[in-house]
Amino acid sequence: TGRVREDREIAFRIPKGIRDREYFILTGEGHAGPRGGERGNLIVTISEKPHEIFVRDKEDLHVGINVTYSELVLGKEIEFVHLDGRKLKVKISPGTAPGETIRLKGYGMERNGYRGDLFFHIKLVIPTKPSKEYRELVQEMQKEEEEVMERVPRFGKPS
């Protein structure tokens, strides 16, 4: 009595929050044992594909958020669609600097009843070909900024 190879579909749930290269075992779903023995186990190894905008770090999620200078200075509330389809609002506070990070606690990946955080990394978008009107606005703003810079040292230790 030999073994007969068969193709079959097996339905299973992937545990929430499982990470790349982790595995789980489906007991009794492997090949049939020799001489009519019990079936072995099927080991399923997870291969997580990179996401278009999210980067995963354990249970935390990271995403870049492009903002304009005026949004950094004046503040802005930006709608964002989470991995699970929920619509979230990200609040850019007035005075936020490029390179800062905004943390939404408990909006990362879920695993074993714990949920990581979602981090938005602020990236300033500067127009490469500004319109004439835009240039004029920036030049007006530059005059105001010169007054501010008279009261603030131009150079200092890196933070």
Number of domains making up the chain: 2
Mean pLDDT over residues 11-21, rounded? 81
User: 124 and 64 in one domain?
Assistant: yes
* Residue of higher predicted confidence among 77 and 156: 77
Tens digits of per-residue pLDDT, 82-105? 988 999 999 999 999 999 999 999
* Residue of higher predicted confidence among 5 and 119: 119
CA distance 142 to 132: 15
Mean pLDDT over residues 22-47, rounded? 83
44 and 24 Cβ atoms separated by less than 8 Å = yes
Q: What pLDDT score does 146 carry? A: 86
User: 119 and 59 in one domain?
Assistant: yes
* Residue of higher predicted confidence among 36 and 121: 121
CA distance 100 to 64: 11
User: 44 and 83 in one domain?
Assistant: no
Whether the per-residue pLDDT at 1 is higher than 50: the answer is no
User: 20 and 39 in one domain?
Assistant: yes
pLDDT-derived band at 73, boundaries 50, 70, 90: very high
Write out the residue range of the structural domain in which residue 72 sits.
55-129
User: 97 and 61 in one domain?
Assistant: yes
**Who contacts 62 (Cβ-Cβ below 8 Å, separation ≥6)?**
54, 55, 56, 118, 119, 121
> Is pTM beyond 0.85 here?
no
Mean pLDDT over residues 39-66, rounded? 90
Question: Which has the closest alpha carbon to 62: 51, 72, 71?
Answer: 51
CATH number of the structural domain spanning residue 100? 2.60.260.20
User: 125 and 60 in one domain?
Assistant: yes
Whether the per-residue pLDDT at 24 is higher than 90: the answer is no
* Residue of higher predicted confidence among 95 and 13: 95
41 part of a folded domain: yes
